Amino acid sequence: MNSNERLIHEFYSSFQSLDWQGMQQCYASNIHFSDPVFNDLKGDDVSAMWHMLCNRAKDFELKFSDIQADEKHGSARWEATYTFSQTGRKVNNVIFAEFQFDNGKIIRHSDHFSFWKWSKMALGPIGILLGWSGFLKNKVQQQGLNGLKLFILRHHSKKNL
């Protein structure tokens, strides 16, 4: 296992333990993250997102596999099972992650999964009916960003550091 493969392994091992600070240590300060819900986060907002998700995790289990990396790029598959806090519905999300590295840290992290499959599990009938639509995806993205902004105000403001 090379150093970047170990870095990915360390990231997901921290995630399994809901250790957002351990996850943060794997990232460069100029990290750029994207997925179907949080499609363009940078820097401290990425760490705050993982902090929020770890903090809200209920019935959480994570498995990861197929870690591959070279000097600049890497990938992994991971699967998260959890109860979605907003609806109380059980979710089993299968994700393909891509990474870019620089100076022993992750500088770009992109997670790919089917928003429609996720929305069917997380949102139930609304996800089944509208999960394919840009309307629902945009609404979920906006709610996610609003929730993150509120979380940052409560947990990551300068007075709390």
Q: Is 153 within a domain?
A: no
Q: Is 149 within a domain?
A: no
Q: Is 139 within a domain?
A: no
Q: Is 158 within a domain?
A: no
Confidence of residue 132 (pLDDT cuts 50, 70, 90): confident
Burial of 83 (0-12, 13-18, 19+ CB in 10 A): middle
- Note the Cα 106 to chain centre separation in Å: 14
pLDDT of residue 131: 87
Q: In terms of C-beta distances under 8 Å and separation of at least 24 residues, what long-range contacts does 143-149 make, across chains too?
A: 144/37, 144/38, 145/38, 147/52, 148/38, 148/41, 148/45, 148/48, 148/49, 148/52
Whether the predicted pLDDT of 157 surpasses 80? no
Q: What is the pLDDT of residues 10-57, one digit of tens each?
A: 999 999 999 999 999 999 999 999 999 999 999 999 999 999 999 999
State how far the alpha carbon of 34 is from the alpha carbons of 38, 90, 134, in Å.
Answer: 6, 23, 17
Q: Is 94 within a domain?
A: yes
Q: Is 120 within a domain?
A: no
CATH number reported for the structural domain that contains residue 15 in this entry: 3.10.450.50
Which residues span the domain enclosing 108? 3-113
Q: Is 86 within a domain?
A: yes
State whether residue 18 is helix, strand or coil. Answer: coil
Q: Is 98 within a domain?
A: yes
Q: What is the pLDDT of residues 83-101, one digit of tens each?
A: 998 899 999 999 999 999 9
How many domains is the chain partitioned into structurally?
1
Pairing of strands 73-84, 61-69: antiparallel
pLDDT of residue 158: 55
Q: Give per-residue burial for 21-59: e unless 16+ CB within 10 Å, then b.
A: ebbbebbbeebbbbbbbbeebeeebbbbbbbbbbebbee
Give residues with Cβ within 8 angstroms of 155, minimum separation 6. Answer: 48, 51, 52, 55
Whether the predicted pLDDT of 79 surpasses 80? yes
- Note the Cα 24 to chain centre separation in Å: 12
